[in-house]
Chain A
Amino acid sequence: MADVRRLPVALALVALVVAGSVAGRAPAHNNNNSTPAAGSLGFHESVVSTAAISSSWSCAGATEAPGSVASGELVFSNGGSATVAGTVDLVSQEGYRRAVSVSLPPGSTRTLQEELPGVPGSRSDQWLGAIVTLYGGMATVTQVVSTPHGTSSQPCASAGAREWYFADGATLRNAWDEISLVNPYPVTAVADLSFTTEQGRELPMDFQGVVVPPDGLTILDLGSHLRRRQHIAVTVSARTGEFVAYQTEIVTPPPPGAPPRGAPGAVNPVIPVPGITLALGSTVPSTSQWWPAGGEGPGITESYAVYNPGQATARLTLDLASPAGARSTVPLTIAPYGSAFLTTNGAPWALPGIAYSAHLESTDGVGVVAERFVMDAPPSAARGLGVLYGESTPASGWLLVPASDGLMLSGARVKQLARPRVEVLNPGEGTATVSVQLLSSRGGAATAPTAATEVRLAPGGTATVQVPESSTGGPFAVRSSAPVLVEQDLYSLLRSVGSNLSPLFALRQT
């Protein structure tokens, strides 16, 4: 055998180990993208996909038939380029159903009055839910509820969740609070409800183990067990299954001379302004949430309700900032399962008479649920109640669906007298250019942005973007060069329309 060389072998070994050690510092090529495939938007929002082949929408919080206590309408919109077909399953708490087919031409908006003809029983308190399936992209469904004292709209939910939170409600002499649970899934869901009121945390037995049948609806009248509560924060938890939760608050005109809610020493108080609010619950407590538009003044009462559904104390700050540079900060501490209701008017930190945006931020990482509650009454020109939950997930595209062909009020269709305003906030650190475009029947933008409909936003800046005139009543797209937060405000001089604060549909580009 030839001589065997030790040195080359040893050197090769050492060289390989050293090379391996050096190469070991190289970054791994990660084939596994851990980013959720669903994208940056959460699932439990009203999200519309530009290229969906089907979407399911869950709507609730309305009652059957025009003239009922919370008369409901479904507003369908198709911002795509092809006709969208769909099916609507209207379902009552008792299990009565009605299937309706819908067809939406491109760029159209259609309205469906929610009613179950031929169903026995009182029609005034026949609560309905709707499970809508639309086959096509850019198609949305909006739930609208109306009373003679106002109207309120909310995007229907595009997905269910196991937890739902509501920051505030009331069961007073002139206020009714209803929680609607609609289950779009083919499996029974069971829910437990817990409440935080001014009397503490409450878990009524009748609100435990609430069954929400498959493709069904369950209505919970909070006033039946939580009587005369001025503030009610709600947690709805699923034992099994998932569902969608809405809160409908109906406020009738208060008796003359009745003390308003929150007045010191008030006995049997009332909410001083009639109206109706519909809110899709929040599914995740957030550590940072925004309201693009805010303000108070004569006749306009603004409040912030904050609910801490967790087991840790939440320490927060509420910052009010006007475009002109005025700022005000309020520190807040919310105990576990506690809530707070802050009225801006008259507060030392208020910024009266100017518009501002609000930012609620946790300083200790504990998430909360919060809403902005507005009462409009004379001497303000606006009327009614409005509620808007804080927004935490910015997006670069939003879909606005105005009820352009009017609302059914007391059996008659009433045209809106005021165009909705789009309030935009740039929560990022860069400048955002925002525009609003009418979506045409061909699937593109029918109107090019104009100076009136396009605005540049500095970081933290807010602006009101006017919705362009539309002859078709079709949906609008709000697009931004950077993620922004948007809300739709409608303040009508008509009492029957009143005030309406509503989020928009987030657009998911695919």
Chain B
Amino acid sequence: MVAVLVAWHPGPWFGEVLSSVAGQDYPNLSVVVVSVGEDATVEERVNQALPAARVVPVDEGTTFREAANRGVSLVTAAAHVLVCHDDVALEPGAVRAMLEEAYRSNAGLTCPKWVLWGSPDRLLSVGMGADHLGVVHPLVEPGELDQGQHDAVREVFVAPSGAVLVRTDLWTALGGFDEGPAGPGEDLDLSWRAQVAGARVVVAPQAVVRHLEATHNSLRAGPPPSLAEENRLRTLWTCYSWPWLAVVAPLALLFVLAESLWALAHHRPGREVLAPWVALAGSFRRPDELWDARVRVRAMRRVRDLVIWKSQTRGSARVRAAIRARLEKGHELAWAASKARLSWRWATATATAVVVLALIGSRHVLGPSLPVVGQLPSGAAGVGDWWRQWWSGAGFGGTGSVPLSPPSLFLLSVTGTVLGGSASLAIHVLVLGPLVIGPMGVFVAARRSGSGRGRLAATLLYAALPVPYNALAEGHWPGLVAYAAAPWLLSGLCSLAGQPPYPYLSWDQAWPRLLAVGLALAVPASIAPSLLLVVPLIGLTLAAGSWASGNGDGWARFVLASFAVAALAFVALLPWSFDSLRSWSDFMGTPAATSAHLSVGDALRLESGPFGGNVLGWALIVAAATPIVLGRSWRLATGARYWAVALVCMSLAWCASRGWFTAPDLEVLLAPAGAALVLAVAMGATSVEVDLAGYRFGWRQFAPPVGAVAALAAVLPVASWVAGGQWDLPSSGAEGALAFPAPSQAGDYRVLWVGVTQTLPLAPQGTDGPLTFATSGDGLPSPDQLLASATSARSEAVGRDLAWAETGQTTELGHLLAPLAVRFVVVPTMGGAAQGAVQATIAALGGQIDLVPVGLDPAYQVFENTAWLPVFSVLPQASARSVATLTGGALNPWSEALLLQQAPLQPAEALPPGQSKVVLPGAAGTTLTGRALLGSVEPGSWRARAAGGTVLVGRPFAGVATAWDLPAGTGAVTVVRQGSGGQHVADIVMLVVWAGGLAAARVRRRSGPLTRLARAQLELGPPGAEVVDIDWAPMMDGENVG
């Protein structure tokens, strides 16, 4: 047994190499060191470490092939020879193990297991494979943790020449390395020819060799890499027989062309474009030698090319490597992503199931219009009016102060316009769309989980959560929006944090995503502003989950990302969002339904309304516990994060339901909890696939069936929920309570809605004990009234008047509400825990002698105010005098109300309806002299101008309206709303912000996804951190990733 070691200006590592050879336990080992070039230190070091070794100097410029052949030629009477590089260190026993295996397997070539020089527990190579074109690829993932997963003896196609044990007779028959070409590729050539000659190429993993890869790591100079391609092609031309060469050669030519075009398409330098052609041409250099080589191979051929073909890797190793370089880039997490990819059939089936579920469950509400229930928007106004209201500001409908139109109105307007101007269709899409968008978000978010089955289960489980259906049943639009947004936001935050299973993103890569997530949050936050607070909360809980699992790395990124996303969304909604900071209720939107009073069980089962699985509702909890029970590494950490989000959100919902603090719709909190739980289920599936095998047999082995049964049980209840066909929505909502008359000749009017907040079709504008109230203009509320407005003097007056009526202090509430142009008072009869208050209010209103009960809808008690005044009206002279009385002097509300009730405000001349401009008729014979124009608008918010440009001076009337005295000779008056300019500025600011955001995103997009992928440095941690500290090796077993 002789070891031939080729030394080519070795570095300081050479001593360790020699020591490793000296440390071999095989007793009959001789060593020949072939020293290339004039290097006296080599002989000195060899003599020092291996006194018995023979040093053979060769001339400078001798190639490795020539040097090795020279060294082996000196060997006599040895059955095997070990050819080594000077940068490999043999582990003790490596020679003996290789030799034993060579005899045991009757191998011609035997190669050891290669590991990293500095990390012996990381694999570098266990033999090599090659495809039909001779492209060599590793059989393991470089850097992969060596857990013995590749310790089986097997045949490989290529034995790397860094350390290869060769039977001496075979070496002689093959003529050693082909000395024709220079540069790398000798191992492919030797291994191929050996197999042609009928020899076996075997890897003996028990023999371990550390490889420094000195040339590859630039520790010394080496031959140009382009020669590798040339030599590969030369081997191709040499080893294939003519018939097979006729097949392979065109294929090789095609690949040369493709590689050249690829380089050209990606703007590579010209030499890279030409490199394939240069290599091709170079492979035919010295054709005589090439011919001789072919002749020699033909002479020794013992195996048909078909056998060789079958032992090669199918497909193209180069194409696969190119794809992996971009999509998987040597990262085991990318492998997880690839595993989570569902076949198109499963993906389509899942999507179909979700869509069909939504359609069947909503089949009875797919009609012309959705019932106006709770905070579901009304499409009565139409898309055109939405645009007008968004551009010009809120109409006269509300009593609260609404200086700026909400961006949600813009969203509605855009959606309605895109859908052909159909307000009803837009509302259907925006209300029912979340039933599909939410599960779609989970489908996308779970792609990183690493389990296709888990991804599928999570998607279906999210579609089966009771959260959206409870929100829909109770008309909680913000809850539905939160359901749609939750998985996207959760995924976005995790992605920005860069914690596994998400790749780490540098700032250059992170900011476009930050921008995208911020804008993505702004859209739902325009409907559910509380999401601007919920997202930072989620970020904090994700960080807390990291700490709890002992994986605190990156917690700051969770926090920073969540706050940055919320801040971006806040900016995107400016200036409306800034204006909404005025009060907590503005941000919270509709307060939580305190009537729900969730038990802890209800909160854990996410059952905030009529829908819930009862006992089966616990199944999701059981299924979601799987990653906590089984998970390891990042799967456990991720599961802990998701559970932290779920528990915190559920706890807050529970507290809010008990009235401990003002909170948004419970579904706004329960939706992120549900998303976190189903993503934990997906992570649990990954844990089953990855981690379960690592446990000894025990109770954990029962976790997969239990989790599967639980997941199935959690999905079952939805089958019964869809039966109703309308998610418990009533057949008709507020729009059915009364056919509110058009403003027409009677003039504009308001409708006063009083009841439990959750039953009102608009956001509260004031409180009336446990009840709230709000007003809308000319019938049903417009969508801009779904968000709370600040309390104003007018809303305080309404609350005061209602309190007077309910405490029996007045029987003429209609008169008190007349200056507010309240024509109808509507009380939803459903009151939940406040049913007593609702009934008392209805009784109080019924006791008013100027309110007439009208309407037949049992869900709504409607009263018509017989003393109502239009929003703009002209009072007769007698009334005008009363107006003068009321507006003169300082009166307290009490005496003011008394006077108001006594004032003969009726009859009044109603003015034509109009929201921004009123023109008095001023017809011939009509005299307005001595009369007063009464506008049920906030003092100072409208300006009246007589014909000729005379500005009329308005006076506050009863604290809630404005009165203008009409001087003698007044023929016509124009009343114009003030403050629209500010609204226009606000609209423009918002548009500019959005345009800027989208433009930035577009600029980023122009760089192209492929380029971005090519640039991506997918790592597990921040730059510089150790990349390989993840135990993905077990699941790589058997995976041929080459």
Contact = CB atoms under 8 A, between A and B. Distances in A.
- Among B597, B810, B897, the one with the most A-chain Cβ atoms within 10 Å of its Cβ is B810
B807 A39 contact: yes
A2 B832 contact: no
Contacts of B625: 13
B168 to A, nearest CB: 48
B770 interface: yes
B651 interface: yes
Interface stretch (A53-61, A142-150, A340-348, A410-418): A53-61
Interface in B365-388: none
Contact of B809 (A16, A17, A54): A54
A38 B840 contact: yes
B637 A4 contact: yes
Given A20-B600, A52-B810, A186-B852, A36 B839 contact: yes
A122 interface: no
Contact of B551 (A2, A21, A39): A2
Given A10-B628, A186-B850, A4 B634 contact: yes
Contacts of B284: none
Contacts of A510: 807-809
B894 A4 contact: no
Given A9-B640, A32-B595, A1 B1030 contact: yes
Interface string B581-612: 00000000000001101011101100000000
A451 interface: no
Interface string B818-840: 00000000000000111111011
Nearest to B655: A23
Interface in B627-656: 628, 631-634, 636-637, 639-640, 643, 647, 651, 654
B849 A184 contact: yes
Nearest to A136: B898
Contacts of B316: none
A16 B833 contact: no
B637 A133 contact: no
Contacts of B599: 24
A28 B837 contact: no
Give chain A's interface residue range (CB within 8 Å of chain B).
Answer: 35 or more
A13 B643 contact: yes
A508 interface: yes
B808 A9 contact: no
B1035 to A, nearest CB: 16
A237 B500 CA distance: 74
A34 B833 contact: yes
Given A1-B637, A9-B549, A187-B853, A52 B809 contact: yes
B809 A8 contact: no
A241 B552 CA distance: 70
B553 interface: yes
Give chain B's interface residue range (CB within 8 Å of chain A).
Answer: 35 or more
Given A6-B636, A55-B811, A37 B643 contact: no
B843 A38 contact: yes
A356 B477 CA distance: 64
A49 B633 CA distance: 72
A1 B837 contact: no
A54 B834 contact: no
Interface string B1006-1039: 0000000000000011000000011000000000
Interface string B763-804: 000000110000000000000000000000000000000011
Nearest to A162: B846
Given A38-B807, A38-B808, A1 B628 contact: no
Given A20-B603, A38-B843, A51-B809, A1 B597 contact: no
Contacts of B843: 36, 38, 43
B806 interface: yes
A24 B597 CA distance: 10
B650 to A, nearest CB: 8
A189 to B, nearest CB: 11
B549 A20 contact: no
B770 A32 contact: yes
Contacts of B636: 4, 6, 9
A57 to B, nearest CB: 9
A34 B595 CA distance: 11
B832 A32 contact: yes
Interface string A51-89: 111111000000000000000000000000000010000
A47 B549 contact: no
A32 B837 contact: yes
A32 B808 contact: no
Contacts of B628: 6, 9-10, 13
Contact of A43 (B603, B808, B897, B1030): B808
A54 B807 contact: no
A448 interface: no
B852 A36 contact: no
B717 interface: no
23 contacts: A2-B552, A4-B551, A4-B633, A4-B634, A4-B640, A9-B643, A12-B548, A13-B643, A23-B654, A28-B659, A33-B770, A34-B837, A38-B808, A39-B808, A43-B843, A52-B809, A54-B810, A54-B898, A85-B902, A158-B808, A159-B811, A510-B807, A510-B809
Given A1-B553, A133-B811, 14 more contacts: A1-B1021, A4-B631, A6-B628, A8-B550, A13-B625, A13-B628, A29-B659, A31-B659, A32-B834, A32-B837, A36-B843, A53-B897, A56-B811, A186-B852
